[in-house]
């Protein structure tokens, strides 16, 4: 879908595959040609000034129309997602709800408008030696962006998912690179976006959707000179490749890649003593949720070695041993998981505690000493596997936290007896992760104003932003200020009368009032 | 200065040079050894947790003590700056005022505290199907940072300049790479920072200052594994080299490089007709200010060809012809300027309108057609030179704006007669520049909450942030959220009682009240 038109495509084709039965799904999807990708970028650029200038109410109407149309597809969409990904219908329906909720959250956010961080400094012409000018700043959309769909969120982080919704809300046209794992889903949602755009009077090019086989189409998209930012959710290899491409452009652009996180869980001694059974149960549920195919799946658990740790590990093992085998999203993911899982199990320093049915899920155990020495044990294993690391003492726990790479989340289970250690541990974890969870589990990401779903590299390419929640809009923006601009030429957000009733910083004071 | 200690240095040495008389200044400065640079980074890392955990009031006290000590050096500092840079005493005194003003502005900002963008979502345990967790987010310092000093701002963008002040305010230890053009100034200010840090009880390593000859020291600093961000003000070649280095690290880090801007000025027809003489006078003053060695020097002027344009160019020429020659900051800059200036003058499509005394300042003129065809005419010429581009019609003006690279500033001179064109032009300029000025001149950057001193590449490496004004603090931070964290473990900023009386976003409402 190049603007309002359907592309002819190249002779390179792909099809959806049902991961449950391996069946090849109709129809065939044709990869976009170079000319089509170029045209999608060009159309986005030509739509940009017009789209960015639309009132937030109009953009909000477009986002809500997308949500309505996604919902309007009803069971047909759910069936296609299930066929292409193996995800059960209940999960797909939940994800659809989240997707439409996100679209409406961003619609509300831009209608309210205070996200634009308006700052006004009024002139002081009498100031000596130099008069103070009138300076007014706000966030503006950075330009057309490219969004790469996530394999594990065929709705919520794909064609009309979080990155698309936040970018469209900010005022950025979007070119989406469809995911090969769910082409039919992508087409259905893409059509819904195009129809919503036409229905609400958006300019052509505000949205395009390209299919690629291999990496060529995506690479061309990132290199397109008019693209100003990239959103990506996927593997570390894929994300770092896009980072390198974007940095090598004549005009480098930011890449927001969510890549790799093992989401460490620290079970401190007091918590282990009081709740080892409950924690094993909760952790098991979090590890196997969606066949472990969440970016927030807990992959590493640090516990104090001892009798309770042994009980905890045994219980986790018995739960895992009874875990049914579930079809993973696609064959590549299943094979990658099998490879990494076997590699883990075959290491001399690692003990296999238990395996799930058909050898899918797995619990492994090692010592903190072995973990610290072996970088392979720090890597994400995408799927239902968890490695328990036995720590010798409190210093060992802190040292383990300090040895972690950047993470999306870090979790602590602690009780009153752990209060000293938890105070030492929290600042270390807050420096390593975007979200720090107390006595809970990392799966399940609340979509809200305060969510930070991001974290230092390699969790993401740019740990300064979030991909979930309303604050995600910031990544598609830049600040601009206007100096001594006559009232009639100022955007509504910056006008004295504050017609949009925004919260603004006026001469250092936070206020919603019009300016005197 | 490696923490509290003075390094021994290597056998590579440099000296300050007086650009006015070429005299070599005492003493000799020794480049840091590899071990010293490594130790500066390590000390910064070990200081980080302690420094980041200090109360904002304590960090503010440190910043204010730096300001007091910089002022306390009195004329000795001014004399050293003047000797090393040729900048007149009045300018240096003004820059010192700005430097200390910035330090105090950031001290005030962190004491007030609302910059941390606190967002609180309270729990809804009764929600179905999944209870809503309590989620609370804020901005936290990203870690130790490296700051590269600017040659053209020996105080305001050097050792205790804007990047250092904003990073220290955020809670990030700073390792400064001194500028070879003003080593003595760097040492004096560096000592003031170290003394202020010790006086106010800061941890060792919160600040270090390294001297380098060549690029080795700076490169090692950017590669140091504990460094989490880089601030740089300088040439496009230098900035892009640091961007490449930072992107190639095992853990890539953001670089905030301010590099290259020609700061276009558009003089529309009505303004030209009414005020061509005044605009020529104002523009001339802006071009030659500080020998044109400002990142905001207007280097390109677009005017509608015609009788008034000829008068405007002639007047600008006569003013430039009477402009005295001024010593530039150092020999390298003077030679670069001479080379680029001659290259401009020797192009067949460019006419030399006038030259200043000793052939320093220069006015050149060309056509919009020639300008659009020749990329060399888009490049910054750092020094007192300006190129006037004659446009044929309004479409030509818009096309010129669209052909611009990213800029720090863009300026429009317009009167009532120009209102249609200015409405077409402003969105284009706002997409190209961080600051858009109406009927003014780009030199002179107001330090305030609303300033945006940044812009799309190549003006800066990352057009999403500003290097001037209080919003600069954001570049050294990342967001982190805490989920279901007990009250006693939350930072003060996130506690229900709002003990710091911050503006916060609580369940979507902006409020300063404690939470019920």
- The pLDDT tens digits of the residues spanning A171-207 come to 999 999 999 999 999 999 999 999 999 999 999 999 9
Contact B176, B480 (CB under 8 A): no
Which two tokens mark A192?
């819904």
Q: What pLDDT does residue B160 have? A: 98
Residues of chain B positioned with their CB less than 8 A from the CB of A435: 480-483
Closest to B448 (Cβ–Cβ): which among A135, A482, A512?
A135
Question: How does DSSP classify residue A113?
Answer: -
pLDDT in tens, A332-359: 999 999 999 999 999 999 999 999 999 9
The C-alpha atoms of residue B98 and residue B82 are separated, in whole angstroms, by: 17
B437 with A483: Cβ contact below 8 A: yes
- Element at B49 (helix H, strand E): helix B34-53
Contact B243, B257 (CB under 8 A): yes
| pLDDT band with cut points at 50, 70 and 90 for residue A419 | very high
| pLDDT band with cut points at 50, 70 and 90 for residue B81 | very high
Give the count of beta carbons closer than 10 Å to the beta carbon of residue B358. 10
Q: Which residues 382-411 of A have a C-beta within 8 angstroms of B?
A: 406
Residue A41, pLDDT above cutoff 80: yes
The C-alpha atoms of residue A476 and residue A316 are separated, in whole angstroms, by: 42
Q: What pLDDT does residue A381 have? A: 94
The C-alpha atoms of residue A272 and residue B71 are separated, in whole angstroms, by: 57
Which two tokens mark B243?
């961007």
Assign B515 to helix, strand or coil: coil
The C-alpha atoms of residue A197 and residue A480 are separated, in whole angstroms, by: 27
CA dihedral of A347, A348, A350, A354, whole degrees rounded to 10 = 80
A414: left (phi over 0), alpha (psi -120 to 50) or beta: beta
Residues of chain A positioned with their CB less than 8 A from the CB of B433: 480
Residues of chain A positioned with their CB less than 8 A from the CB of B508: 449
Nearest chain A Cα distance for residue B465, angstroms: 7
Which two tokens mark B453?
């001193």
pLDDT in tens, A251-270: 999 999 999 999 999 999 99
The C-alpha atoms of residue A140 and residue A474 are separated, in whole angstroms, by: 9
The C-alpha atoms of residue B346 and residue B341 are separated, in whole angstroms, by: 9
Q: How many residues does chain B have?
A: 516
Residue B513, pLDDT above cutoff 70: yes
Contact A471, B474 (CB under 8 A): no
Closest to A243 (Cβ–Cβ): which among B252, B463, B484?
B252
What domains appear along chain B, each with residue ranges and CATH number? Answer: 24-118+139-259+463-475 (3.40.605.10), 265-438 (3.40.309.10)
Q: Give per-residue burial for B132-167: e unless 16+ CB within 10 Å, then b.
A: ebbbbbbbbbbbbbbbbbbbbbbbbbbbbbbbbbbb
**Nearest residue on chain A to B133, judged by CA atoms?**
A446
Residue B505, pLDDT above cutoff 80: yes
The C-alpha atoms of residue B216 and residue A513 are separated, in whole angstroms, by: 53
Closest to A457 (Cβ–Cβ): which among B251, B435, B466?
B251
Q: Which residues 207-246 of A have a C-beta within 8 angstroms of B?
A: 243-244
Residue A389, pLDDT above cutoff 90: yes
Residues of chain A positioned with their CB less than 8 A from the CB of B49: 427-428, 431
Over range B318-324, report the average pLDDT: 97
Residue B307, pLDDT above cutoff 80: yes
Q: What pLDDT does residue B214 have? A: 80
Of A211, A97, A116, A113, the residue nearest A161 (C-alpha): A97
Residue where the block lists tokens 């919503």 = A196
Of A175, A168, A209, the residue nearest A190 (C-alpha): A209
Chain B CB within 8 Å of residue A55 CB: no
Catalytic center residues of B? 258, 295
Q: What pLDDT does residue B215 have? A: 86
**Nearest residue on chain A to B482, judged by CA atoms?**
A436
The C-alpha atoms of residue A410 and residue B263 are separated, in whole angstroms, by: 46
Q: Give per-residue burial for A189-213: e unless 16+ CB within 10 Å, then b.
A: bbbbbbebbeebebbbbbbbbbbbb
Nearest chain B Cα distance for residue A30, angstroms: 34
Chain B CB within 8 Å of residue A53 CB: yes
Query: Hey, which bits of A342-443 come out as E strands?
Result: 351-355, 362-367, 385-391, 407-413, 433-438
Chain B CB within 8 Å of residue A133 CB: yes
Nearest chain A Cα distance for residue B222, angstroms: 16
Residues of chain B positioned with their CB less than 8 A from the CB of A132: 446, 448
For chains A and B, CB pairs below 8 A equal: 198
**Nearest residue on chain A to B112, judged by CA atoms?**
A508
| pLDDT band with cut points at 50, 70 and 90 for residue A516 | low
Q: What pLDDT does residue B148 have? A: 97
A451 with B120: Cβ contact below 8 A: no
Chain B CB within 8 Å of residue A457 CB: yes
The C-alpha atoms of residue B25 and residue A480 are separated, in whole angstroms, by: 42
Closest to B435 (Cβ–Cβ): which among A132, A461, A483?
A483
Chain A CB within 8 Å of residue B428 CB: yes
Chain A CB within 8 Å of residue B479 CB: yes
Nearest chain A Cα distance for residue B256, angstroms: 12
Q: What pLDDT does residue B515 have? A: 78
Average pLDDT, chain A: 96
Assign B398 to helix, strand or coil: helix
Using alpha carbons, list the distances in angstroms from residue A492 to B397, B414, B435. Answer: 25, 20, 17
Over range B225-234, report the average pLDDT: 97
| pLDDT band with cut points at 50, 70 and 90 for residue B516 | low
Strand partners, B24: B17
Residue A213, pLDDT above cutoff 90: no
Which two tokens mark B413?
């001179």
Q: How many residues does chain A have?
A: 516
Of B147, B203, B223, B151, the residue nearest B476 (C-alpha): B147
Average pLDDT, chain B: 96
The C-alpha atoms of residue B82 and residue B297 are separated, in whole angstroms, by: 21
Closest to A130 (Cβ–Cβ): which among B444, B463, B471?
B444
The C-alpha atoms of residue A287 and residue B2 are separated, in whole angstroms, by: 46
Closest to B450 (Cβ–Cβ): which among A120, A430, A434?
A120
**Nearest residue on chain B to A133, judged by CA atoms?**
B446
Closest to A119 (Cβ–Cβ): which among B133, B450, B508?
B450
Residue B225, pLDDT above cutoff 70: yes
Residue B173, pLDDT above cutoff 90: yes
Strand partners, B511: B504
Residues of chain B positioned with their CB less than 8 A from the CB of A485: 436, 438
A479 with B465: Cβ contact below 8 A: yes
Residue A300, pLDDT above cutoff 70: yes
Of A390, A348, A341, the residue nearest A362 (C-alpha): A341
Residues of chain A positioned with their CB less than 8 A from the CB of B143: 431
The C-alpha atoms of residue B406 and residue B264 are separated, in whole angstroms, by: 10
A508 with B449: Cβ contact below 8 A: yes
Using alpha carbons, list the distances in angstroms from residue B309 to A151, B298, B321, B369, B385. Answer: 59, 17, 18, 16, 18
With 0-12 CB in 10 A as exposed, 13-18 as middle and 19+ as buried, what is A489? middle
Chain B CB within 8 Å of residue A431 CB: yes
Residue where the block lists tokens 């000829």 = B310
Over range B120-143, report the average pLDDT: 96
Q: Give the gyration radius of chain A's Cα atoms.
A: 25
Nearest chain A Cα distance for residue B359, angstroms: 30
The C-alpha atoms of residue A384 and residue A284 are separated, in whole angstroms, by: 9
Over range B283-300, report the average pLDDT: 97
pLDDT in tens, B335-375: 999 999 999 999 999 999 999 999 999 999 999 999 999 99
The C-alpha atoms of residue A203 and residue A312 are separated, in whole angstroms, by: 58
The C-alpha atoms of residue A370 and residue A356 are separated, in whole angstroms, by: 24
Closest to B457 (Cβ–Cβ): which among A114, A252, A464?
A252
Chain A CB within 8 Å of residue B485 CB: yes
Q: For B54-182, where are the alpha helices, taking DSSP H only? A: 56-72, 74-85, 89-112, 162-170
B456 with A478: Cβ contact below 8 A: yes
Which two tokens mark B30?
């020794």
pLDDT in tens, A79-95: 999 999 999 999 999 99
Q: Which residues 162-201 of B have a C-beta within 8 angstroms of A?
A: none
Contact A192, A100 (CB under 8 A): no
């Amino acid at each position: 879908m190049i603007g309002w038109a359907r592309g002819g495509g190249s002779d390179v084709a792909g099809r959806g595959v049902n991961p449950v039965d391996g069946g090849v799904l109709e129809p065939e999807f044709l990869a976009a040609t170079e000319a089509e990708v170029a045209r999608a970028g060009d159309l986005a650029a030509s739509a940009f000034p017009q789209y960015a200038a639309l009132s937030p109410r109009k953009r909000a109407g477009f986002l809500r129309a997308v949500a309505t149309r996604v919902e309007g597809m009803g069971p047909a969409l759910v069936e296609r997602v299930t066929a292409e990904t193996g995800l059960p219908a209940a999960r797909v329906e939940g994800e659809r709800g989240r997707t439409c909720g996100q679209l409406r959250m961003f619609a509300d956010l831009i209608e309210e408008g205070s996200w634009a961080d308006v700052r006004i400094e009024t002139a002081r012409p009498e100031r000596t030696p130099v008069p103070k000018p009138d300076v007014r700043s706000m966030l503006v959309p950075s330009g057309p962006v490219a969004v790469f769909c996530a394999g594990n969120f065929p709705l919520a982080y794909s064609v009309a998912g979080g990155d698309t919704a936040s970018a469209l809300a900010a005022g950025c046209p979007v070119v989406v690179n469809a995911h090969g794992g769910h082409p039919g889903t992508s087409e259905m949602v893409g059509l819904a976006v195009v129809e919503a755009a036409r229905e609400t009077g958006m300019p052509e090019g505000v949205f395009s959707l390209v299919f690629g086989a291999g990496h060529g189409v995506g690479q061309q998209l990132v290199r397109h000179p008019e693209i100003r930012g990239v959103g990506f959710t996927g593997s570390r290899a894929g994300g770092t490749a896009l980072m390198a491409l974007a940095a090598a452009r004549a005009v480098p652009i930011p890449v927001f890649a969510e890549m790799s996180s093992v989401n460490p869980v620290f079970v401190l001694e007091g918590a282990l003593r009081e709740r080892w059974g409950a924690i094993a149960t909760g952790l098991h549920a979090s590890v196997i949720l969606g066949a472990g195919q969440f970016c927030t799946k807990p992959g590493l658990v640090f516990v104090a070695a001892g009798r309770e740790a042994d009980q905890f590990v045994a219980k986790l093992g018995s739960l895992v041993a009874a875990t049914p085998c579930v079809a993973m999203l696609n064959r590549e993911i299943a094979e990658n998981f099998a490879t990494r899982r076997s590699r883990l199990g075959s290491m001399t320093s690692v003990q296999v505690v238990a395996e799930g049915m058909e050898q899918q899920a797995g619990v492994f155990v090692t010592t903190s000493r072995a973990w610290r020495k072996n970088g392979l044990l720090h890597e994400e294993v995408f799927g239902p596997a968890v490695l328990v690391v036995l720590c010798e003492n409190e210093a060992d726990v802190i040292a383990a936290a300090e040895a972690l790479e950047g993470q999306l989340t870090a979790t602590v289970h602690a009780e009153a007896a752990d209060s000293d250690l938890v105070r030492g541990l929290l600042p270390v974890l807050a420096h390593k992760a975007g979200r720090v969870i107390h006595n809970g589990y990392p799966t399940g990401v609340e979509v809200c104003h305060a969510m930070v779903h991001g974290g230092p590299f390699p969790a993401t390419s740019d740990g300064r932003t979030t991909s979930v929640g309303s604050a995600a809009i910031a990544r598609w923006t830049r600040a601009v200020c206007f100096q001594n601009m006559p009232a009639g030429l100022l955007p509504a957000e910056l006008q004295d009368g504050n017609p949009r009733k925004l919260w603004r910083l006026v001469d250092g004071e936070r206020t919603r009032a019009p300016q005197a």
